[in-house]
Amino acid sequence: MRLLLTGKNGQVGFELQRALALLGDVVALDRLTCDLESEVSIREAVRRFEPNVIVNPAAYTAVDKAESEEGRARAINARAPAILGEEAARLGALVVHYSTDYVFDGKTERFYRETDATTPQSIYGKTKLAGEKALAATGARHVIFRSSWVYGVHGSNFVKTMLRLAGERETLSVVADQIGAPTSAALIADVSTLVIRRLSETNTAGLEGVYHLVASGETSWHEYACHVIEYGRAKGHVIKVAPDAVRPIATEDYPTPAKRPANSRLDTQKLRDAFGLTLPDWRGSLDHVLEQIL
């Protein structure tokens, strides 16, 4: 199997390089070898390698900056998946693409299902939803994984930021009224690999489409931060902030250019049923990554 991977230096891309190697020959590209803002660059990369599977974790993920850089966000998040889909359709290849909880408005009181109405509230969310639709419209075989609150050993993320700030400050304020499931890049990569292997088999009709892929359970950003900080403290990491000095605050107390969903909980029943999976609790996956970071 020949696999073409974009965004190899991102959190998910980094883990996918490891996981996808089990399936065959992987060509991993970065921004220099495949510029997702350039149609020519994208088409040349695909035609040079002619893969059986295109895996596209690359994205414009600067959520707040996207509010003032809509053109760049739309080129990378919406137009690039369409081009990859067009090339994949020509080759008969499978496209595995990644999306986000930001396609929802976060106003429901339950876990979001794949079939729920998508009403993104930010440029980032709107461009990611546009990418989903554009890929599907090409007619290429595809799987789209929506995930949330992604972190990993590699790259910058909330986990590393909390450890750094907790080692520098005596008090911290963290939003407590947004809920979701922290999801490790390693989990996303491992599940992606399993799904690709399954879809390479015969009699897999009906298994393509959109799936929610997150760790099980739920938490708030505040509880998430407290877990990270206390784990660091227990492991001897330099922590200045006291356990009772991590203050829960409301979203309105921490204004940002882009609106965040209050409810980012994603229902994974469809994925679990289709592929016979049991997804780990967010705490276990987080502790595994923290062990590596610390």
Q: Give the integer Cα–Cα distance in Å for 20 and 95.
A: 14
Query: What count of other Cβ atoms lies within 10 Å of the Cβ of residue 71?
Result: 11
- Tell me the CB-side half-sphere exposure of residue 254, using CA atoms within 13 A: 16
Candidate list 60, 98, 102, 124, residue with the active-site label: 124
Angle at 61 between CA 222 and CA 239, to 5 degrees: 35
Q: Give the integer Cα–Cα distance in Å for 135 and 98.
A: 11
Q: Which amino acid is at 253?
A: D
Q: Give the integer Cα–Cα distance in Å for 88 and 55.
A: 11
For residue 33, with 0-12 CB atoms within 10 Å meaning exposed, 13-18 middle and 19 or more buried, which class applies?
Answer: middle
Residue 224 annotated in active site: no
Instruction: Determine contact, residues 196/23, Cβ cutoff 8 Å.
Output: yes
The pair of structure tokens assigned to 229 is: 């900080």
Backbone angles phi, psi at 293, to 5 degrees: -65, -40
The pair of structure tokens assigned to 120 is: 């993104």
Catalytic residue numbers, as ranges? 124
